[in-house]
Chain A
Amino acid sequence: MTRSRRGVLLRLARRNVVRQWRRSLLTGMAMMLGVVALVMARTIGDGAHEDWIDSGVRMGTGHVTLQHPQFRFSRKLDHRLPAAARARIAAALEAPEVASLVAQVTPRLEMMGLANSPTAAVPVNIIGVESEGEARFSQLGVEQRRVGGRYLEPGDRLHAYVGERLAQRLDLGLGSRLVLTAQDASGEIAGQLVRVVGIYRTGVPEVDEAVVHIPLATAQEWLGVEDDVTTVAVLLTSAWGVPRALRRLRARIGEEGDGIAVLGWRQAMPELDAAIKLDDFWGYVFNVVLFVIVALAIVNTILMSVLYRTREFGVLRALGLTKRETATVVFTEGMILTAVAGMVGVVLGFAVTWLLWHDGLDYSGALEGELTFSGVVLDTVVVPVFRRVQVVMSLGSIVIVGLLASLYPAYRATRIDVAEAMKFEA
């Protein structure tokens, strides 16, 4: 097709879009609303997911977790990180290309054990922590979660920070004593007396009843592991940096066979990963349904326009346009509408989302109590996240929909019988 012919077809398509402005407006509005809904869903959805991930990694083992390769399966002290491994990890984390991605690092010694009081014994997950770093890392230590006392501090030794439900079950208050028992490094059952300095509430029953923080040095001495830890948890400056951080750390630390596994939060917290994927899946289903409806609206209006202009297409063919060129006119009309509606929709979508919710969408009014999901306490205020990829995705989606929806009407335009078209009365 020559340039002059392309110019004629484009001129015809452009003017037809304007000429049938009511129909164009209707079709464009349908497309635009689809894009606005998509942008809103993506920005809010991404904001919610980022919140889930942030809450999850802070409550759990960070964006990136460094452990012995077997620890996450065995939970045994046999599979801990010795001093040499910790040194390698520290060196890798200090490397400039990794350090630029890292916000916080905290070592932990985790073990399963029992918490005993004169009234009861409850199985718990005992975590030895460096109080200063952990206070910045974990959500357990923050003031909003505290119902009494304080979080662990440097200099604490025989102190414990426990959940509200555990305190209730063991009948503990601030200053109460409890005995923690666990298997030590030599395989013997060992006990440690500690005193409650603080009580927290996350709203997640399995956390509030089962997670006990004690000073790392106390745990190491009690269990006879010297300076060893089971986990080094790393918080990154952004969840989007996880793949890069994993790649760079693995390049420095080596493969799992070297005694250190570098895990992303998706591997370390598969339930949270599955929850986000499931939510994404339903998000995509919603988008597909939305865009199928939009596509049907587009097909309907463009097809109506083609049928209404049957005689006109017959004239174009009589004047020397090929079937393909006739289809190109219809297809171009669809794509002009798509481009305009897509761009306006994206701008409008971001603008409306920002105007309505840039301070966060608060859905606490729709809930009773706290919102927990997959062992994570979720913030009831979701702050939308704006990214370039959302622009690309939204425009890409509407272009695909517009393209597919324009194909059938364009095909129908090629099926018009020229001689019959001349008898057509609109």
Chain B
Amino acid sequence: MSEQPAVRTSDVWKVFEHDGIAVEAVRGVTLEILPGEFVVMAGPSGSGKTTLLNLLGGLTQPTRGKVWIDGADLTTLSERALARLRLERVGFVFQAYNLLPVLTARENAEFSLLLQGMAEDERHRMVGELFERIGIAGLEDRRPAKLSGGQQQRVAVARAVVGAPALVLADEPTANLDSATSLALLDVMANLNRELGTTFVFATHDPQLMERAQRLIRLVDGAVALDERRSAPASP
């Protein structure tokens, strides 16, 4: 029996209207990303990386084509069902960390578990283990404003992976970090990919991240120009 893709697209297009002019941000992308893959989507600015990432996460709907996460067709889901799917099956890591400033590091990390109604003990245990694993143990009660950029991004990664989603989408996660912090963060995500089997899809310019990719997808003008699987694992 063949493995069900974590995410799949079929001839996906995204067209934006700007002052009456149609701009094709994503043009006919068809791809399958399997569970446990460590995928990097690279390309110059304006190549459609972020838009494709938003389409994969159900943050925006395609103008044409289909997107499936874990077999669920995002284009047919209601707003409520889509929100539920994002909560349970997708994790996001953003360039600007985007932690909720009024919550502590632990509350940010356990946000999806809170929404799912998980008991406090269980949440704390899971987040505690994760914080230990990614090197931010002891920072649980700090608010984001009291954390460095690297620490905030680790909390964001913890928030993305804590619910064991089918897919983690990361948009330029190292863009605001210095080189050393970027490397450390990449190690964290590579470890999570290897140890927990979490599927990562990145949109990035970062050469360090591209080097780590098991699979590199190059986008040019909204279309896939190269889809290359590499044999080397995404180990640190």
Binding site for B on A (CB under 8 A): 2-5, 7-8, 11-12, 15-16, 18-19, 311-312, 315-323, 325, 417-419, 422
Is the Cβ of B94 less than 8 Å from the Cβ of A320? no
Q: A320-B87, A322-B79 are in contact. Are A2 and B101 (CB under 8 A)?
A: no
Is the Cβ of A5 less than 8 Å from the Cβ of B79? no
Is the Cβ of A5 less than 8 Å from the Cβ of B115? yes
Expressed in whole angstroms, the Cα–Cα distance for A209 and B223 within the complex equals 100
Expressed in whole angstroms, the Cα–Cα distance for A98 and B77 within the complex equals 69
Minimum distance in angstroms from B195 CB to a CB of chain A? 24
Is the Cβ of A319 less than 8 Å from the Cβ of B79? no
Expressed in whole angstroms, the Cα–Cα distance for A312 and B98 within the complex equals 7
Expressed in whole angstroms, the Cα–Cα distance for A46 and B32 within the complex equals 74
| A residues in contact with B80, CB < 8 Å | 322
Q: A312-B100, A315-B98, A323-B79 are in contact. Are A5 and B86 (CB under 8 A)?
A: no
Expressed in whole angstroms, the Cα–Cα distance for A315 and B160 within the complex equals 12
Chain B 99-136 residues near chain A, CB threshold 8 A: 100-103, 111-112, 114-117
| B residues in contact with A320, CB < 8 Å | 83-84, 86-88, 112, 115
Is the Cβ of B87 less than 8 Å from the Cβ of A319? yes
| B residues in contact with A3, CB < 8 Å | 117
Nearest neighbor of A8 in chain B, beta-carbon distance = B114
Q: Does B202 contact A (CB under 8 A)?
A: no
Minimum distance in angstroms from B210 CB to a CB of chain A? 22
| B residues in contact with A316, CB < 8 Å | 100
Nearest neighbor of A7 in chain B, beta-carbon distance = B114
Q: A319-B87, A322-B80, A419-B54 are in contact. Are A5 and B117 (CB under 8 A)?
A: yes
Nearest neighbor of B97 in chain A, beta-carbon distance = A315
Q: Does B173 contact A (CB under 8 A)?
A: no
| A residues in contact with B87, CB < 8 Å | 319-320
23 A–B pairs (Cβ distance < 8 Å), ordered by A:
A3-B117, A7-B114, A11-B103, A12-B102, A15-B102, A18-B102, A19-B101, A315-B94, A315-B100, A317-B59, A317-B86, A318-B86, A318-B92, A319-B86, A319-B92, A319-B112, A319-B115, A320-B84, A320-B87, A321-B83, A422-B54, A422-B59, A422-B98
Minimum distance in angstroms from B204 CB to a CB of chain A? 15
| B residues in contact with A7, CB < 8 Å | 114
Q: Does B57 contact A (CB under 8 A)?
A: yes
Minimum distance in angstroms from A418 CB to a CB of chain B? 5
| B residues in contact with A323, CB < 8 Å | 79
Expressed in whole angstroms, the Cα–Cα distance for A319 and B111 within the complex equals 8
Is the Cβ of A16 less than 8 Å from the Cβ of B102? yes
Is the Cβ of B117 less than 8 Å from the Cβ of A311? no
Expressed in whole angstroms, the Cα–Cα distance for A181 and B86 within the complex equals 96
Expressed in whole angstroms, the Cα–Cα distance for A315 and B86 within the complex equals 11
Q: Does B76 contact A (CB under 8 A)?
A: no
Nearest neighbor of A15 in chain B, beta-carbon distance = B102
Q: Does B60 contact A (CB under 8 A)?
A: yes
Minimum distance in angstroms from A4 CB to a CB of chain B? 4
- Interface Cβ pair total, 8 Å cutoff: 72
Nearest neighbor of B94 in chain A, beta-carbon distance = A422
Minimum distance in angstroms from A265 CB to a CB of chain B? 57
Is the Cβ of A2 less than 8 Å from the Cβ of B117? yes
Expressed in whole angstroms, the Cα–Cα distance for A345 and B110 within the complex equals 38
Expressed in whole angstroms, the Cα–Cα distance for A96 and B111 within the complex equals 66
Nearest neighbor of B78 in chain A, beta-carbon distance = A322
| B residues in contact with A417, CB < 8 Å | 60
Is the Cβ of B60 less than 8 Å from the Cβ of A317? no
Nearest neighbor of A311 in chain B, beta-carbon distance = B98
Is the Cβ of A321 less than 8 Å from the Cβ of B59? no
Q: A12-B100, A419-B54 are in contact. Are A322 and B83 (CB under 8 A)?
A: yes
| B residues in contact with A8, CB < 8 Å | 111, 114-115
- Pick from B59, B100, B112: contact of A418, CB below 8 A: B59
Known: A315-B100, A320-B83. 4 other contacts (CB 8 A): A5-B115, A315-B98, A320-B88, A419-B54
Is the Cβ of B54 less than 8 Å from the Cβ of A317? no
Minimum distance in angstroms from A315 CB to a CB of chain B? 5
- Pick from A312, A317, A422: contact of B83, CB below 8 A: A317
Residue among B88, B94, B112 facing the most chain A CB atoms (10 A cut-off) = B94
Expressed in whole angstroms, the Cα–Cα distance for A419 and B57 within the complex equals 10
Minimum distance in angstroms from B86 CB to a CB of chain A? 5
Chain B 27-70 residues near chain A, CB threshold 8 A: 51, 54, 57, 59-60
Nearest neighbor of B92 in chain A, beta-carbon distance = A318
Is the Cβ of A19 less than 8 Å from the Cβ of B100? no
Expressed in whole angstroms, the Cα–Cα distance for A3 and B100 within the complex equals 21
Nearest neighbor of B169 in chain A, beta-carbon distance = A318
Expressed in whole angstroms, the Cα–Cα distance for A4 and B112 within the complex equals 11
Nearest neighbor of A317 in chain B, beta-carbon distance = B83
Is the Cβ of A19 less than 8 Å from the Cβ of B102? yes
Q: A16-B102, A315-B94, A322-B83 are in contact. Are A4 and B115 (CB under 8 A)?
A: yes
